[in-house]
C-alpha cells in the first residue's frame, strides 16, 4: 500500500471547514441534534453502497477537501464523521485519517475512535472532547 499524499487544502476549503465546525460547536452548545441532511433522490446515486452518497445534499455539517467529501452527524453524546472519495472509489483508513485530522484540527488523535471501511471511513469523538479542543480555536 502506498502512503497517501498530504492534503493541500485551498483557502476556500479551510473557510468551509471552519464554518462547518462552528456550526457543529454551536449545535452542541445548544443541545441541538445534528442530523444528516434530508434525502434528495435527484442527487443520490443508486447502488449497493448507499453511504457513499449520504450527505451529498448541501448542508451546514458537511464539506469537501481535495478529492474527499466529509459529513458529520450527532449520535447521542458522540459526533460521527464519515469520509468518502468524491469519485466513489475505495479509500484507505490512512486517507480517512488525513481528512479527519483536517476536519478535527486541534482534537487530540487519542480521543478519536476509527471504524474503518472499504468505501467509507468513520470517526467518532465525544461532544465534550470536541468542545474542549475546538473552543479556543473557533472562539
- pTM equals 0.83
Look at residue 97 in the predicted model and tell me its pLDDT.
95
The maximal CA–CA distance of the chain, rounded, in angstroms, is 43
| CA–CA gap between residue 125 and residue 107 (Å, rounded) | 9
Domain spans of the chain, in order of start: 11-138
10-residue averages of pLDDT along the chain (139 residues): 68 96 89 81 55 72 95 86 90 94 89 91 83 60
Amino acid at each position: 500500500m502506498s502512503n497517501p499524499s498530504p492534503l493541500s487544502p485551498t483557502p476556500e476549503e479551510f473557510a468551509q471547514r471552519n464554518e462547518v465546525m462552528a456550526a457543529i460547536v454551536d449545535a452542541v452548545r445548544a443541545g441541538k441534534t445534528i442530523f444528516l441532511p434530508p434525502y434528495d433522490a435527484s442527487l443520490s446515486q443508486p447502488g449497493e453502497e448507499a453511504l457513499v452518497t449520504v450527505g451529498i445534499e448541501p448542508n451546514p455539517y458537511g464539506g469537501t477537501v481535495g478529492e474527499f467529501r466529509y459529513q458529520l452527524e450527532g449520535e447521542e453524546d458522540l459526533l460521527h464523521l464519515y469520509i468518502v472519495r468524491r469519485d466513489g472509489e475505495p479509500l484507505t483508513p490512512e486517507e480517512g485519517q488525513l481528512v479527519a485530522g483536517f476536519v478535527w484540527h486541534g482534537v487530540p488523535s487519542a480521543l478519536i475512535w476509527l471504524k474503518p471501511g472499504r468505501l467509507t471511513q468513520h470517526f467518532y469523538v465525544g461532544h465534550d472532547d470536541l468542545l474542549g479542543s475546538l473552543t479556543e480555536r473557533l472562539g
